[in-house]
Amino acid sequence: MNRRRRDVRRSLLSCAAAALVAVVPSQPATAQPACGNVKVELRLHRFAPSQWNTTVLDMRLMREWNARRGNYGAPSYSLQELARVTGDDRVLSSAGMTDSLSAPVPVGLLKSAGTVRNPANTASRLLDGVVCVRADRSVSLLSEVRPDVGRRTPQNWQAATASCVHAVQAGPMLVDAGKPLIGERAPREVSRVFAAVDRERRLVLGHSPKATTFDLACTLAAEGSIEQAIALQGDELGGVRFGSRSGIDEKGWGFDGGTIASAIVLEPLPGRPAQRGGN
């Protein structure tokens, strides 16, 4: 009899525990960070697809370009050298990360003019987004390739970026749907270059001279017009360069002399009005 009572009691406790589990609400995968009054300096320029053509360039092509000019020495893979080759009407930005300080070695997806030139890095938790340029010149940030939403297979990455004519894997994602994504304060305050898309679907290139990714994400979300943002080749190695005939009255931001694996290149379309200062 006592044994039977113990068995019934265990059964009732098991059922009660299961019921408690069933009614406990699930927690969100990523809680929104508490930004408070966090604010860092931002420099922004916005580029409408009706006025600018955006491409992604594999910097390994610099060797081929040099060879065509009869220069078979080791080329420089910097924004400075790229500006010299492409002309002074372009806007150039460092893009994906490189695995070498002396040569362009992409560490994530790199797609240029419809050709995949480097495969996606499906293991990295840092490179959790893609800058995607489509045939109509529109730019979007594919944050759905983040690991918390289960897109960490090569097949899914390929499907997610199939419509991208140009694409570069970067990260971390800073803002999505106008909300900051960085959940904790990073220890390093350094120069940071980023890409964003605003509510008018314009590409935004930006720079903060000294910020953590947490501070940058909070500041961009609070700015009010930014829908998505992602860190590009980061820290002190990243930069943006404005050509002297680009119509932008600034020379550049960050560092333009270091080795980069890929670049975002913006070419002005005919009839584009000049931009005077960041906004």
Q: What angle do CA 159, 128, 92 make, to 5 degrees?
A: 95
pLDDT of residue 236: 74
pLDDT of residue 9: 42
The tally of CA atoms less than 13 A away on the side-chain side of residue 217 is 24
Other Cβ atoms closer than 10 A to 218: 25
β-pairing, 239-242 vs 91-94, is antiparallel
DSSP 8-state symbol, 235: G
Condensed to tens digits (0 to 9), the pLDDT of residues 21-79 reads 333 233 334 455 688 888 999 999 999 999 999 999 999 998 777 767 666 555 689 99
DSSP 8-state symbol, 257: S
Residue at 233: amino acid letter: Q
* Contact status, residue 255 vs residue 237, Cβ threshold 8 Å: yes
Calpha distance 133→165 (Å, rounded)? 6
Q: Among 86-90, 127-131, 217-221, which range has the highest average pLDDT?
A: 217-221
Report whether pLDDT(147) > 70: no
95's CB contacts (< 8 A; 6+ apart) are: 56, 131, 168, 170, 232, 233, 260, 261, 262, 263, 264
Calpha distance 160→118 (Å, rounded)? 16
pLDDT of residue 237: 80
Condensed to tens digits (0 to 9), the pLDDT of residues 168-213 reads 999 999 999 999 988 666 668 899 999 999 999 999 999 999 999 9
pLDDT averaged over the chain? 82
In this prediction, residue 214 has a pLDDT band, given cuts at 50, 70 and 90, of: very high
Residue at 141: amino acid letter: L
